[in-house]
Amino acid sequence: MYNKEEITNWFMSLQDNICNQLEKADGGKFIEDRWKREGGGGGRTRIIQGDVIEKGGVAFSAVHGKTPEKILKALQLSETDFYATGVSIVMHPLSPMVPIIHMNVRYFEMENGTSWFGGGIDLTPHYIDLSDAQYFHKELKKICDKHHPEYYTKFKAWADDYFYVRHRQETRGVGGIFFDRLSPSKEMSLEQLFHFVQDVGNAFSPIYTYLIHKNKNLPFEEREKEWQLVRRGRYVEFNLVWDKGTKFGLDTQGRTESILMSLPPQANWIYSHQPIEGSKEHTTQKYLRKGINWLDII
């Protein structure tokens, strides 16, 4: 049976392993910012600005203290302390041919004994490459199928709904998987749930380093860079308006710099922007919708 200390230590090792693999793929080095939370706990935020990744963050945190009233109300709980730990990652590449990627794996525990895992991983290409999208989803399905036959279908649909920019009526990218409040049950123990979360976390490096090496040397022009900035703008809109992780971090008096590390170094907003009919940008826009079966897209 795992406890919160063992889970926390594993998340710290996951941060170390991912940073090591990304440094090898990029050639740059992470800088580390250690911080403490006034209400309890702290973390390590690591940022890379390298040859492939224009700005990327791999953040570990373990925070605890009094649960904010807003969260207690949402969970319909009486006053109790909380403990939360996890790793959060966002990579914004320099090239518009390399996709943005996000992953978050986390554990939450209440003083009253309630506990659960949550997380997800999703891919946001500036230009959708069908083979990349198919590869990404096949890798995620392998992980899900190893643990439960319904996980991929359920968590893929959950990601479609979660990573949806409602005010734009488009998905953030090609989706992935998303899950939350996975609590121990008769069907799945805490240990089994943790093994699933570990497999999701360990999949990040091989998936993204493959996509980096495949796409980093593709040529691009100024038009593609302009489109990249527009797509980054949509990414910002989602993270600041809809993302629950951002809201949770700010509600629990988390460290603002670490919470907002997910934002790109530059973004752009063009009034009433519409891609040209038949263009690569227009093709990508058409795929930004829910319910696509990426496994059989080719």
Q: Which residues contact 131 (CB under 8 A, 6 or more apart)?
A: 298
Q: 3-state DSSP call for residue 148?
A: coil
Q: Number of helices (H) and strands (E) in the chain: give both, helices first.
A: 9, 9
CA distance 7 to 1: 11
Q: What is the end-to-end Cα distance of the chain in Å, rounded?
A: 43
Q: Contact at 8 Å (CB) between 48 and 71?
A: no
> Measuring CA to CA, which residue among 31, 9, 18, 51 is closest to residue 205?
18
Is position 102 annotated as part of the catalytic site?
yes
Tokens of 20: 């090591």
Q: Contact at 8 Å (CB) between 83 and 12?
A: no
Of 64, 92, 102, 126, the active-site residue reads: 102
Q: How far is CA 133 from CA 154, 164, 208, 292, in A?
A: 18, 17, 12, 11
Tell me the backbone φ, ψ of residue 262, rounded to 5 degrees.
-70, -10
Q: 3-state DSSP call for residue 66?
A: strand
CA distance 140 to 119: 13
CA distance 4 to 107: 8
Strands (E), 27-144: 30-36, 41-48, 53-66, 81-93, 100-110, 115-124
Q: Which residues contact 80 (CB under 8 A, 6 or more apart)?
A: 67, 72, 110, 111, 112
Report, as residue numbers or ranges, the catalytic residues.
Answer: 102
